[in-house]
Amino acid sequence: MKQGWRWFGTQDAISLREIRQAGVTDVVTALYERKCGEVWPVGEIRARQAEVRAAGMEWSVVESVPVHESVKLRAPGFETYVENYRQTLRNLAECGIKVVCYNFMPILDWTRSQLDYPLPDGSTVLNFDETQVAAFDLFMLRRPGAEATYGPALCAKAKAWYDAATPAARDAAAKGILLGLPGTVDDLTVEGFRDLLRGYAAIDDATLRANLYAFLNAIAPTCQELGVRMAIHPDDPPRPLFGLPRILSTAADIRQMCQAVPYDCIGLTLCTGSLGGNRANDEVAIFREFAHRVHFVHFRNVVYAEGGTFHESGCHLTGKVDMPRLMRLLLDEEARRGEPIVVRPDHGRLMEIDKGRTCYSGYSYGGRLVGLAELRGLEYGLIHGSDLDGKVCVVTGAAGVLCSVMTEDLLRHGAKVALLDLHGDKASAFARELAAKGLADTLPLAANVLDRASLEAARDAILAKWGRIDILINGAGGNHPKGTCPAEQMTPDAKPEDTFFGLDIEGFEFVNRLNFIGTLLPSQVFAKAMLRDGGAILNISSMAATQPLTKVAAYAAAKASIDNFTRWLATHLAPMGIRVNAIAPGFFITNQNRFLMLEPDGKTLTPRGNKVIAKTPMRKFGQPADLCGAVRYLLSDDASFVTGVVLPIDGGFLAYSGV
């Protein structure tokens, strides 16, 4: 992740120097002095950018370019504000700032009832007390129809609270609820709020949604052209509030927006604390489903009290939100797109360290300092906590479709990987590709798995660079058309050359040698370097080994010999602390088999592809990344007592007889 921090410009109680010292690289800010709806001039953007750069950081995300209320309401004259918005995006892009956070929430940017909810250690956090919010709505705002929002039980609790509360307590709740975001200029009064609500009287959910989608579809082509990514902020909290329309509270809302605005540049800010403000939201599932449209991340956590009352957690890692799994997904998404995403620790406790500053819980220094450190530690632990960290791996056929994905995964878990491939240029190109993703602990080498001398030369080069070898993945292998038999079964009318009797022995030998000898020989060469400290070897079998597939006679036989050899070598090397296992991948669409599984349109299944899916209980092909967890397990110390196994990774193909 790129470590971000929201800075409210010169009026912020926290200086850029302090932010820099928190470990931040990316500042998230805006031209707060510009009124909502105005065009941001390039000169002012550059001046703010220069200020951030002078402090050693980059302004990479805007939070926010606010959307004028007339655009939300589609009120007369809104077109001018849409055009102004576009122009601001153009000006930002001209300065190289291309991620924009904003929201489409009517009137209130966020809602809490208490800004100084005390935690046991004396620090304070933001609190959303549903009883107080209901009391405000029912008895201070006196909104017609408010009872229906809350139901009788909550209304009764709200009344009890209101009757017992002192005027000061009521005022404090109202102030908390009506406070605009720090950095914005408006502090609303109850009367002012009532007026604003009247402006939304005629706007229901469907209208606000339509207005949002119309706005986004109007700016999307410009965003696409400029490379600007829009990251809408979800409703905070994502639940009905003061009768206002709420259109970005749930996965269904996000899905609807993504469908209505079919541009990947129009995405969202994954604000885990906001989404967490509704018990029913599953933040992990949301991230998983919309990962490719997450352009900016706010990580924070919430803790629930009774009912729908929650406060912000004293720790960014613990609470309702499953932060470790979200961080894992973030790392996966960053790996997929080959670039980091800006994450800011969202909100934080007001701690002793902030005494004397004019800031409150949420935008404090101490709380966010700790929050960022927690997130950084979690990320570091996920990357380097693996026992593959620092291990030296050799992967043959590393640039292949499946092996390249496994290789990248090993690198992301801290391993150093020698990338061996028959074609040195392919290995080097792959190494460059990895380096561009920040994965530079590689050594690309040309080596033929059927040529001992080239393997020994590779081994010497690896030992010279890293001094040891811990892991070998025998990845090079595959099928060849000459080792296959065109007819699935012998029938009286089959052409003899299409049957077993026409099998090309040289083709058969080639496939057999590539897979079997191509596993045996590298094992002999590289395991020698493991004799001192032990190690792990992983062979690549196939489900064809156990259940021969029609046509691919040589391949199935070769993979069967790999299974047998895996058990033999596991037994043989066990006293030396070298474990030998194999994976048996099911059907993954790769270059070798695409023509067998898919028609030329790349989508329609061939008759053979249909048969495969029909016999796969999970009813889908595997994705190369599906192999990574199993591979890591077999290579890690978690599998320290596991040797000689062949693990199917096949969506159940082997388990199912087809009947």
Q: Which residues bind ligand NAD (CB under 6 A)?
A: 396-397, 399-403, 421-423, 426, 448-450, 475-478, 514, 518, 540, 542, 585, 587-588, 590-593
Nearest-angstrom CA–CA distance, 123 and 366:
10
Q: CB of 483: closest distance to ligand NAD in angstroms?
A: 12
Q: CB of 544: closest distance to ligand NAD in angstroms?
A: 7
Report the residue number, 401 or 598, with the smaller CB distance to ligand NAD: 401
Please, are residues 344 and 338 in contact by the beta-carbon 8 Å criterion? Answer: no
Which strands sit side by side in the sheet containing 114-118, from one edge to the other?
A: 114-118, 124-128, 310-312, 302-304
Report the residue number, 99 or 406, with the smaller CB distance to ligand NAD: 406
Please name which of 288, 286, 314, 310 lies closest in space to residue 300, comparing C-alpha atoms.
314
Q: CB of 434: closest distance to ligand NAD in angstroms?
A: 14
- The residue nearest ligand NAD at its CB is 400
Q: CB of 584: closest distance to ligand NAD in angstroms?
A: 7
Report the residue number, 499 or 590, with the smaller CB distance to ligand NAD: 590
Report the residue number, 297 or 415, with the smaller CB distance to ligand NAD: 415
Q: CB of 647: closest distance to ligand NAD in angstroms?
A: 12
Nearest-angstrom CA–CA distance, 164 and 607:
74
> What's the Cα-to-Cα distance from 628 to each of 332, 405, 429, rounded to whole Å?
11, 8, 22
CA 451 to chain centre: 41
> For 338, left (φ over 0), alpha (ψ -120 to 50), or beta?
left
Report the residue number, 213 or 653, with the smaller CB distance to ligand NAD: 653
Report the residue number, 124 or 519, with the smaller CB distance to ligand NAD: 519
Peptide bond into 237 cis (omega under 30): yes
Nearest-angstrom CA–CA distance, 39 and 89:
9
Half-sphere exposure at residue 347, Cβ-oriented, CA atoms within 13 angstroms: 29
Please, are residues 110 and 184 in contact by the beta-carbon 8 Å criterion? Answer: no
> For 558, left (φ over 0), alpha (ψ -120 to 50), or beta?
alpha
Q: CB of 210: closest distance to ligand NAD in angstroms?
A: 46
Catalytic one among 85, 360, 555, 656? Answer: 555
Q: At a CB cut-off of 8 Å and minimum separation 6, what does 34 contact? A: 40, 44
Report the residue number, 371 or 478, with the smaller CB distance to ligand NAD: 478
Report the residue number, 323 or 514, with the smaller CB distance to ligand NAD: 514
Please name which of 529, 530, 537, 536 lies closest in space to residue 456, comparing C-alpha atoms.
529
Q: Which residue has the tokens 């620090």?
A: 123
Report the residue number, 361 or 515, with the smaller CB distance to ligand NAD: 515
Nearest-angstrom CA–CA distance, 277 and 418:
46
3-state SS class at 183: coil
Nearest-angstrom CA–CA distance, 468 and 601:
47
Q: CB of 446: closest distance to ligand NAD in angstroms?
A: 8
Q: Running DSSP on this structure, what letter comes out for residue 4? A: E
Nearest-angstrom CA–CA distance, 625 and 414:
17
Q: CB of 67: closest distance to ligand NAD in angstroms?
A: 47
Report the residue number, 228 or 415, with the smaller CB distance to ligand NAD: 415
3-state SS class at 302: strand
Long-range contact set of residues 455-458: C-beta below 8 Å, sequence gap at least 24? 455/521, 455/522, 455/525, 455/526, 456/525, 458/394, 458/418, 458/420
| Residue 304: active-site member | no
Q: CB of 650: closest distance to ligand NAD in angstroms?
A: 9
In terms of C-beta density within 10 A (0-12 exposed, 13-18 middle, 19 or more buried), how is residue 350 classed? buried
Please list the active-site residues.
Answer: 555
